[in-house]
Amino acid sequence: MNRYPLWKYILIAIVILIGLLYTIPNFFGESPAVQVSPAKSTLKSDNALLQKVENTLQLASIPFNGIYLDATGVKVRLANPEDQIKAKDKLNASLGKDYTIALNLLSQTPNWLLAIGAKPMYLGLDLRGGVHFLLQVDMKAALDKAAESSVGDFRTALRKEKINYFGISREGQLVVVKFDNAAEANKALRILSKDYPDLTYAVTGSGKDLSLTANMGLASQKRTQEFALKQNLQTLHNRINELGVAEPIVQQQGFDRIVVQLPGVQDTAKAKEILGRTATLEIRLVDEEKTDFATMEKASNGQVPFGDELYKDRSGRPILVKKSVVLTGDRITDAGPGVDGQNGSSVVNVTLDGRGAGIFKNVTRDNVGKRMAILLIEKGNTEVITAPVINEEIGGGRVQISGMANAQEATDISLLLRAGALAAPMEIIEERTVGPSMGEENIKRGVHSTLWGFAAIAVMMVIYYMAFGGVSVLALGVNLLLLVAILSMLQATLTLPGLAAIALALGMAIDANVLINERIREELRNGNTPQASISEGYKNAWHTIVDSNVTTLIAGLALFMFGTGPIKGFAVVHVLGILTSMFSAVLVSRAIVNLVYGYRRKIEKLAIGQIYKA
């Protein structure tokens, strides 16, 4: 009765073998590496890049242990951190313009293991060190901005159709166009609702108060918000690429939040500066009709002419800029520093997308000789970066901005332009930084807790249940093995609470074996034969084990659903630990017991410790 069919033993052996295969990558350690990945979406990581990297390193005679190409880029494994830094500098010099060069760590797992997808567990920030940010997107601002751009669109549309309107403005998220006669208002309604069908329109009032209001519908609001979040995600991606982080995570969380994780980043101030830069860019025309001294004087004292706004340029000179926005930063597809061919001064070359190019062409044609201001809006402050004179009509979407003080400024501004603008401002609402030494210490803490706890349990189990205690400990060992293997397979993020969950899972999983052993003792106490006691003991314990594990599972699932970050990590391990313990505590321990006792003819006694018969 205590024999498993052969297939069961084989199945268990295979599971344990797979467990071993997927667990060992965690023991190989990591070696320093440099990662080269394209900084622009137009560039691909392909064999040509691999060749380039290889050549660069060979030229600089930096030895490397391996070079790999994957979806994200090229990774080079190096012998020591000195070579790593040297390689990074060399690669930065030769490829740094178009590619992100980052320091990374590569697992020393042999290739045959990598080939079957066996990788070490993915360590969370609290274990490897790094920064975690949670950013909140200001959705109201996104909607305001959308309404503001409708104001501009309406103005253009009404002008094109030569409709006489009295005034146009944004009130909250409503766009209000004022008219003085109903015929014009109705004409406007017809045209606008045809051109911009997303909005809902209403004509209200009469006489002097006659106005047309346009309101964003719920669907359109939702779309605007989704778009804003997507654009912010993209912008953050671009900005982080500039930082040169090996494996950054930029993810949406909920409908208005973004998680950014930068493993290994030490310079949090720099990271924060780049992320928190809520810069938006706008291109507007300078009001050239009001540059006389008297108007400027008045404007400085607060009497800004209607339709204008007063800003200061980089050297602090006041400048009057029209309120209407020609272009926003989201129309910019690329920007880079350059040198003017004629006078050798530093410039920024900007490329605009199709729609941006069209608008830009029209505006420059109509405004030759006037100045155009590029405004940087950052944390509520608006600054005119530069206000170059428009020399000629500019078509084709390629724009050269002159007036840079030096090459550094050209680089800075192009970085700002290229990193793109945010569709809506964001605020950091959560920050967690863990230093690298702390990460190592946390790993040590988690591992020590688990191992010492395990050792103590093993000793006590063997003392109390003798051979059966030994079997329980073996089963518990298999449980640990399988748990680590599954976590490595899933590449789930392991955090310190996750490590605690591994320890706790082991501490709880032993319950199943205690239940079984107690049941067997009880059967023996009732005078059953050893073989029958084993069989009955396992059978009776099974129902209890299932029931008690289901309740623990419910708690784990609830944690998973409502927890975020580290708690989610805890929940994942907790739930997986329960599942693996069902397998190991019941099947594995039974298989061992069967192998030990099941094939003997006659058993006098089970080595399960002293039993007092009642």
Partner 1 sequence: MELFRIKNDIPFMSYGRLTTTISLVTFILAVFFLATRGLNYGVDFTGGTVMEVNYPQSANIDNIRQAVDSIGLKDATVQNFGTSHDVLIRLPIKKGMSIAQLSEKVSSALKAADPQADVRRVESVGSQVGEELYENGGLALLLVCLGIMAYLAIRFEWRFAVAAIIANMHDVVIILGFFAFFQWEFNLTVLAAILAVLGYSVNESVVVFDRVRENFRKMRKANAVQVIDNAITRTMSRTVITHLMTQTMVGSMLLFGGEVLHNFALALTIGILFGIYSSVLVACPIAMWLGVNRANLIGDVEKKPTDASAEVAP
Decide whether 240 or 515 has the Cβ nearer to partner 1: 515
Q: How far is 326 from 19, CA to CA, in rounded Å? A: 61
CA 213 → CA 41, 189, 191, 200, 378, distances in Å? Answer: 41, 9, 14, 8, 31
Q: Which is nearer to partner 1, 150 or 472 (CB)?
A: 472
Q: How far is the CB of 116 from partner 1 (least distance, A)?
A: 32
Q: Which is nearer to partner 1, 252 or 548 (CB)?
A: 548
b vs e for 235-272, b when ≥16 Cβ sit within 10 Å of the residue's Cβ? bbebbbbebbbbbbebeeeeebbbbbbbbbbeeeeebe
Q: Which residues contact 496 (CB under 8 A, 6 or more apart)?
A: 124, 126, 127, 442, 445, 446, 566
Query: Would residue 302 be called left, alpha or beta, if left means φ above 0 and alpha means ψ between -120 and 50 degrees?
Result: left
Residue 234 Cβ vs partner 1, minimum distance, rounded to whole Å: 21
Max CA-CA distance within the chain?
A: 114
Sign, CA torsion 554/560/561/564: positive
Tokens of 248: 């950054």
Task: Let me know if 71 is exposed, middle or buried by CB neighbors in 10 A (0-12, 13-18, 19+).
Answer: exposed
> Looking at beta carbons only, is 567 or 595 nearer to partner 1?
567
Q: Select 319 or 510, whichever has its Cβ closest to partner 1.
A: 510
CA 188 to chain centre: 45
Min dist CB 307 to partner 1, Å, is 33
Nearer to partner 1, 220 or 449 (CB): 449
Rounded to a whole number of angstroms, the minimum distance from the CB of residue 296 to partner 1 is: 33
Nearer to partner 1, 266 or 402 (CB): 266
User: Which CB sits closer to partner 1, 56 or 278?
Assistant: 278
Q: What angle do CA 551, 554, 555 make, to 5 degrees?
A: 95
What does the alpha-carbon distance between residue 534 and residue 593 come to, in Å, rounded to a whole number?
8
Q: How far is the CB of 419 from partner 1 (least distance, A)?
A: 18
CB of 195 to partner 1, least distance (A): 39
- DSSP class of residue 305 equals P
The nearest distance, CB 503 to partner 1, in angstroms, is: 5
CB of 542 to partner 1, least distance (A): 11
User: Under a CB-based contact definition with an 8 Å cutoff, are residues 95 and 52 in contact?
Assistant: yes
User: Is 331 strand, coil or helix?
Assistant: helix
- List, as one string, the DSSP characters of 95-135: HTTTEEEEEEEEE---HHHHHTT--PPEEPHHHH-EEEEEE
For 112, counting Cβ atoms within 10 Å of its Cβ (0-12 exposed, 13-18 middle, 19+ buried), the class is exposed
Considering beta carbons, is residue 415 or 443 the nearer one to partner 1? 443
Distance CA 325, CA 307 (A): 11
Nearest distance in Å: CB 311, partner 1: 24
Distance (Å) of CA 6 to CA 3, 12, 13, 318, 426 = 9, 10, 11, 88, 62
SS (H, E, C) 349-367: EEEECHHHHHHHHHHHHHC
CB 522, min distance to partner 1, A: 7
Rank residues 351 and 442 by Cβ distance to partner 1 and give the closer one.
442
CB atoms closer than 10 angstroms to residue 164:
12
State the Cα–Cα distance between residues 213 and 202, nearest whole angstrom. Answer: 5
Please identify, using beta-carbon distances, which residue of 379 and 601 lies nearer to partner 1: 379
Instruction: Give the residue with the Cβ less far from partner 1, 355 or 448.
Output: 448
